[in-house]
Chain A
Amino acid sequence: MQISYLVIALLLLTGVSYFWGRRRAVSLAKGEHLVVLHSLPSFHGAYVALWCGLPALLLVALWMILEPQIVEAVVINQLPADRAILAISDPNVFKLLLTDIRNLASGNIVSQTIDPALQAAANSYMRYEAISQQALFLVALSMAIVMGSFARTRLSQRFRARNRVEKIARWAMMTASLIAILTTVGIVLSLIFETIRFFDKVPFDEFLFGLKWSPQMAMREDQVGSSGAFGAIPLFAGTFLITLIAMVVAVPIGLFSAIYMSEYAGPTMRSVVKPALEILAGVPTVVYGFFAALTVAPFFRGAGESLGLDVSSESALAAGVVMGIMIIPFISSLSDDVMNAVPQSLRDGSYALGATQSETIKQVILPAALPGIVGAVLLAVSRAIGETMIVVMAAGLAANLTANPLEAVTTVTVQIATLLVGDQEFDSAKTLAAFALGLVLFVITLCLNMVALRVVRKYREKYD
């Protein structure tokens, strides 16, 4: 990649200009003690380096975003008039044409017959690309040098290099902290736009209250089930069922191990069990998914057979149980923290009244820690709802509306993943449905998190 050489060259130049500015600052002191300078020489160096590197790097970034579009527009405009108009009026034709020109330029296979006009376009595309790259090199490097030299001429004994550098650093930090907000905005925008397009094709109430989900769109009009059905209730029900199973597994085990760890266990036991739970928390979800499909699902199937029950090989039970296992460390570590935060004086008071340890836990510590535990469970629920890989690998694909944990159900995340994996054209209701589901998922988990965080925070303030 040519651009990376340019970036490396610019970074080197920036490094050099730091020492260049520094040396100049030292020479400005004219052999006297450096105290005659307003700022330390390193600040002068940093000032020159920033002027040298920042504008040029920004230019490269901007160029990389804008350049393809400009070159494309120019190339399309040079095509014979009839094709250019066709291309501009229809975005799909435009895209196809561009891909063909690009493929022709790089010597790949092309979808249409190569005619002279297309060949000419490809040639000029390559030419413009080359010109633009050379121009970028020239402009960026000379910009770096000119800006750096200019900044260097501004240095003087009284020059306030420190103030300026600190201001730039502060701005950089502020921008970095805005990324969190930008990410949220980006998520919301990308989900909402596609969701609006989805509701153009599928009515809102059908999606939220429909009982049938079969997103396969037919290729031809006369095919069976040609319209597809986008009722999301079976998905919500499936998600709810699997989450419920996961909670039934995770809450008692997580809570009891937290109780034991914080109230009974000695330091040796803690030093063994805590890392074990941490390992359990660090196992990637794809591993849990494989574990569910390889070990747990066949186990349940076999156990069901020996009891005379018909257990599906993609049963909600297997996916839910494994998801519960994944969540155990999450609940146990959060509740452990909460119970440790309960002041010792409450325990001492209870013991003084003659309560046993378990009575103290049940009647004093748990009630005191309850808000925190509820918060932990809510966070765990939100995690279970959003978990993808376990259910993709262990739960089913068909949307059954059932409450029987032995049957296969599907979840919101499974559908998002299956709808969007592989190449998709971006205007069918099928792909857009994934974004609508994503929005539902985002909103639900966001609400759960907000509530949970608020509950936890409120509780913490009580004992601080």
Chain B
Amino acid sequence: MSERTKQRYAAERRFRLYGLAAIGAAVLVLATLVTSIGIVGMPAFFQTYIKLDVTVDAADVESGRFRQLTFDAVYAFHPEVTDRREKKRLRGIVSSGADREIRLAVADDPSLIGTTFPIWVRSSDDIDIFIKGQVSRDLPQEDRRVKDNEIAWVDGLVEQGRVETRFNFSFFSTGDSREPEQAGIWGAVVGSFFTLCVALAVSFPLGVLAAIYLEEYAPQNRWTDLIEVNINNLAAVPSIVFGLLGLAMFLNFFGMPRSAPVVGGMVLALMTLPTIIIATRAALKAVPPSIREAALGIGASELQVVTHHVVPLAMPGILTGTIIGMAQALGETAPLLMIGMVAFIVDIPQGIFDPSTVLPVQIYIWADSPERAFVAKTSAAILVLLTFLVCMNAIAVMLRKRFERRW
């Protein structure tokens, strides 16, 4: 083999290697992204609980002194602590929402009144992180939020078997909270659901009708060209501009409610409309003309050709495009910030006019929070969001594989 051929083959191998390296880099980045978020997020699905012995009297229930009861139960672990500051630290071991859990337990079972009973309540977020081993004991005391005496207290509780880590069911059933240990994603999930419902209800009929018109009815003229150019451009307009549109048009001009899924859904609908139109047109185009001609030939009207033959045959493609559009809408954040869906909302929204937030915005809000425990919550919420997205995309792929027909 000549020297030159060798060189050329080496160049060939190098070139191939560049390609492999590029793909490797992309896959590596994906793996890093998923694993780093997964590792950080996993602990948030678990929560540390502490067993308290609470004494509830009828008088306490009457006056609603549950907060004081909780404090007393915690103070009882270490009666020797008398300094006010230290007492505050001591009661900071349990979550500030612990009194609510006790109240609910008593409301659930009134026979507890007048007795001393054990109850598991949430620990505060700092203790939770410590128990999960994310705070090193070797750090100097000034550099960690959990101080030496707190560590001693918690160690004592662990020895007594009063500390347990359980699956955090309430993460999936509560709304947002300022306290990381009480914060959940259910409010955001419901908000996302309502928003997507509105978006689907607006964009699916509009998108499909528009695509049918452009593909089956419209004459080829300037007007349809203009519509087509418009759709292609809208598909590439930055999402934040749609947010500006929603703010100026829907909120300020039409006076629609702020932070409501109905406005968010409409903005997302306008955003996904091009996706749905383009996908639907492609699906309609794939139906062979012979089907239309055959239907027309046996006397079907234009509308009948479309509704009885073309659209049913194109349905898998249309649905695939719609699901992909909805998956995009589910992950969209920026336009919703503009229309006020970034508010701090504790209640679970009951309808499309209630103020609410959505999953990606909840992620953004938590990512911005200073408490360290929110880092894990954010990652956990991301894992939930990614799960939803993967499911939607999997359904889309399945639809395509299962029903796609080639003529």
- Interface residues of chain A, those whose CB is within 8 Å of chain B, are 1, 65, 68, 162, 165-166, 169-170, 172-174, 176-181, 183-184, 186-187, 190-191, 193-194, 252-257, 259-261, 263-264, 273, 276-280, 282-291, 293-295, 325, 328-329, 332, 356-359, 361-362, 379, 382-383, 385-389, 392-393, 413, 416-417, 420-422, 426, 434-435, 438, 441-442, 445-446, 449-450, 453
Contacts of B165 in A (CB 8 A): none
Question: What separation, in Å, do the CA atoms of A446 and B230 have in the docked complex?
Answer: 10
- A282 to B11, Cβ gap below 8 A? no
Asked if B30 contacts A166 (CB within 8 A), the reply is no
Please tell me if the beta carbons of B23 and A453 are within 8 angstroms of each other in the complex: no
Sort A-B residue pairs by CB-CB distance and give the 10 closest, nearest first: A386-B238, A260-B19, A284-B331, A190-B248, A256-B22, A173-B213, A176-B209, A358-B15, A388-B334, A177-B210
Q: Is the CB of B21 within 8 A of A359?
A: no
Contact A166 B26 (CB under 8 A): no
Question: Are A183 and B234 in touch, CB under 8 angstroms?
Answer: yes
Q: State whether B273 touches A180 (Cβ < 8 A).
A: yes
Least Cβ–Cβ distance between B275 and chain A, in angstroms: 12
Is the beta-carbon distance between B234 and A180 smaller than 8 angstroms?
yes
**B238 & A393 in contact (Cβ 8 Å cutoff):** no
Q: Is B206 an interface residue (CB 8 A)?
A: yes
**A286–B362 alpha-carbon span in the complex (Å):** 10
In the complex, whether B105 has a CB less than 8 A from a CB of chain A is: no
**Whole-angstrom distance between the Cβ of A30 and the nearest chain B Cβ:** 23
Residues of A within 8 A of B249 (CB): 186, 190
Q: Of the 9-residue stretches B55-63, B128-136, B382-390, which lies at the interface with chain A?
A: B382-390
Name which of B96-104, B153-161, B239-247 contacts chain A: B239-247
A385: which of B238, B270, B353 is its contact (CB, 8 Å)?
A: B238
Query: Mask for B328-351, Cβ within 8 A of A = 1, else 0?
Result: 001111100110001000000001
Chain B residues whose C-beta falls within 8 Å of the C-beta of A392 in the assembled complex: 334, 364
* B76 interface hit (Cβ, 8 Å): no
User: Within the assembled complex, what's the spacing in Å between the Cα atoms of A446 and B368?
Assistant: 32
| Cβ–Cβ contact A253 & B382, under 8 A | no
Residue pair A260, B16 in contact (C-beta under 8 Å): yes
> Which residue of B19, B212, B273 contacts A259 across the interface (Cβ within 8 Å)?
B19
Which of B20, B37, B238, B245: most chain A CB closer than 10 A?
A: B238
- B-chain residues with CB within 8 Å of residue A325 when the two chains form the complex: 26, 29
- Say whether B174 faces chain A, with CB atoms less than 8 Å apart: no
What chain B residues lie within 8 Å of A290 (beta carbons)?
A: 37, 363, 367, 378-379, 382
Chain A residue numbers with a CB within 8 Å of B36 are 291, 294-295
Nearest to B351 among chain A residues (CB) is A1
Which residue of chain A has its CB nearest to the CB of B363? A286
Q: What is the distance, in angstroms, from A308's C-beta to the closest C-beta of chain B?
A: 24
Knowing A273-B27, A358-B11, say if A285 contacts B33 (CB, 8 Å).
Answer: no
CB distance from B263 to the nearest CB of A (A): 14
Q: Given A252-B22, A276-B30, are A180 and B277 also a contact pair (CB < 8 Å)?
A: yes
Q: How far is the CB of B87 from chain A (nearest CB, A)?
A: 36
Whether B18 pairs with A256 at a CB distance below 8 angstroms is yes
Interface pair A187/B241, CB less than 8 Å apart: yes
Minimum C-beta distance from B305 to chain A (A): 11
A-B contact pairs, 12 of them (CB 8 A): A173-B213, A174-B217, A177-B209, A179-B206, A190-B245, A253-B22, A273-B23, A287-B33, A357-B12, A359-B8, A383-B236, A413-B334
| A420-B15 in contact (CB<8A) | no
B360 at the interface (CB under 8 A from A): yes
Given contacts A284-B333, A382-B236, contact A426 B244 (CB under 8 A): no
Chain B residue at minimal CB-CB distance from A356? B12
Q: Is B9 an interface residue (CB 8 A)?
A: yes
A68's closest neighbor in chain B, by CB?
B255
Q: How far is the CA of A279 from the CA of B379 in the complex (A)?
A: 17
Smallest Cβ-Cβ distance to A361: which chain B residue: B15
Inter-chain contacts of B363 with A (CB < 8 A): 286-287, 290
Q: Are A386 and B367 in contact (CB under 8 A)?
A: no
A449 lies within 8 A of B232 (CB):
yes
Contact check, B302 vs A166: say whether CB atoms are below 8 A apart.
yes
Taken together as a complex, chains A and B put the C-alpha atoms of A259 and B255 apart, in Å, by 51
A285 B367 Cβ-Cβ under 8 A: no
Q: Given the complex of chains A and B, what is the CA–CA distance between A173 and B210 in angstroms?
A: 5
**A252–B379 Cα gap in the complex (Å)?**
30
Chain A: CB-nearest residue to B236 = A449
Residue among A280, A389, A416 making CB contact with B29, cutoff 8 Å: A280
- Mark interface residues in B175-218 (1 if CB within 8 Å of A CB, else 0): 00000000000000000000000000000011101101110011
Q: Is B252 an interface residue (CB 8 A)?
A: yes
Could you give, for residues 309-335 of chain B, a 1 whenever the CB lies within 8 Å of some chain A CB and a 0 otherwise?
Answer: 000000000000000000100111110
Task: Tell me the smallest distance from the CB of A121 to a CB of chain B, in Å.
Answer: 19
B1 at the interface (CB under 8 A from A): no
In the complex the two chains form, is B20's CB within 8 Å of A260's CB?
Answer: yes
**Complex: how many Å from CA A354 to CA B23?**
28
Find out whether the CB atom of A282 lies under 8 angstroms from the CB atom of B327. Answer: yes
Provide the residues of chain A in CB contact with B20, threshold 8 Å. Answer: 260
Is there a chain A Cβ closer than 8 Å to B94's Cβ? no
Q: State how many angstroms separate the Cβ of B330 from the closest Cβ of chain A.
A: 8
Nearest A residue (CB) for B33? A291
**CA of A413 to CA of B9, assembled, Å:** 48
> Are the C-beta atoms of A176 and B244 separated by less than 8 Å?
no
Given A291-B36, A294-B375, A359-B12, 16 more A-B residue pairs with CB atoms under 8 Å apart are A162-B301, A162-B303, A170-B217, A176-B210, A179-B273, A183-B230, A190-B253, A256-B19, A273-B27, A277-B26, A286-B364, A287-B331, A358-B15, A386-B237, A416-B244, A453-B233
A420 to B360, alpha carbons, bound, how many Å? Answer: 18
B170 contacts the other chain (Cβ, under 8 Å)?
A: no
Q: Which residues of B contact A450 (CB under 8 A)?
A: 233
